[in-house]
Amino acid sequence: MTVEIKDMSLDNVGTGRVEVRVYQGAEYAKGPPVLIYFQGGAFRHTGLTACPMAECLAGQGAIVVVPDYNVQGSVFPKPLEVGFSVFSYMAKKRAGFGDRKSLLIIGGEEAGGNLATAVALKARDHFANELDGQVLASPLLDPFMGSSSSRNAGCIGMRERWAEGWSHYMSGGMCHPYAAPSLCSRLAGIAPALVLSSEDDPLLDETMSYAKRLEAAGVKVKKHILPAGSGWPSVYGGKTGETPDWQESVGGQFAEFVRDISIH
């Protein structure tokens, strides 16, 4: 499906104007799912840049809205305040995206995946009936970076970047569960999740550990681990030396996930 891309401003968001990039399939159906998607960038990403994941999921018929969530600052809780305000704004009749029948989904990759988990947790606490699902693509969740797979981050040039990113994000002096979701002890009641990673992803262990904890809390989870060599770590800036070919598989998983949450 051809994907149309346009930049625009959301002027009525509670935290102030937020610039967004919208990815929309040219032939999307009536009532398309609306996905708010947060890019990665080790907690430092600003501005609107190309987002291969957003384009991939828009190709499955979704309207994907990618906000510049660090517009107010990149130290917790500022990104969460912006991200949750965008979610709250979109929850009101989808703010002109899709229609009232459209599913509302939150998602993100790497540091953006961290923000997506935090928005999902906060939505559970404040807008429990408004969020239909979450898409977590190798979310960066553990500030201690203590998993076995995370040791491989050095070989793709990410470990130092992530360590510096965590130090920056937490420099406000807060270690809240919304900031470090791997430390959250209360996961019941949040939206169903599609959790994605790959066999050669340094974030594989913390991603799958979080997925298991969601399942143990009674959350519906769909997991998919891509094979090594699919180029997956490139989605968040990791250098794999391979041409990414994860799009078709991830697109199919997303389409199945949307169908599943549509009938429940």
Q: Which of 257, 198, 194 is nearest to 60 (CA)?
A: 257
Task: Check whether 175 has a pLDDT greater than 80.
Answer: no
What confidence category does residue 92 fall into, taking pLDDT thresholds of 50, 70 and 90?
A: confident
What confidence category does residue 243 fall into, taking pLDDT thresholds of 50, 70 and 90?
A: low
Average pLDDT over residues 242-253: 88
Mean pLDDT computed over every residue of the chain:
92
What is the per-residue pLDDT for 239? Answer: 78
Q: Which of 240, 264, 235, 258 is nearest to 54 (CA)?
A: 235
For the residues of 194-253, what is the DSSP string, one character each? Answer: EEEEETT-TTHHHHHHHHHHHHHTT--EEEEEEPTTS-GGGGGT---SS----HHHHHHH
Average pLDDT over residues 57-64: 95
Average pLDDT over residues 152-180: 88
Do residues 194 and 259 make contact, with C-beta atoms less than 8 angstroms apart?
Answer: no
Cα–Cα distance between 224 and 229 in angstroms, integer? Answer: 15
Average pLDDT over residues 215-221: 98
Q: Which of 197, 200, 199, 208 is nearest to 241 (CA)?
A: 200
Task: Check whether 127 has a pLDDT greater than 90.
Answer: no
Average pLDDT over residues 215-223: 98
List pLDDT tens digits, range 15-44.
999 999 999 986 666 789 999 999 999 999
Average pLDDT over residues 38-66: 95
Do residues 138 and 234 make contact, with C-beta atoms less than 8 angstroms apart?
Answer: no
Structural tokens at position 167? 């130090």
Residues recorded for the chain: 264
Task: Check whether 220 has a pLDDT greater than 80.
Answer: yes
Average pLDDT over residues 126-131: 85
What is the per-residue pLDDT for 200? Answer: 93
Q: Out of 60-64, 78-82, 127-131, 225-229, pick the least confident.
A: 127-131
What is the per-residue pLDDT for 155? Answer: 75
* pLDDT over 90, % of the chain: 78
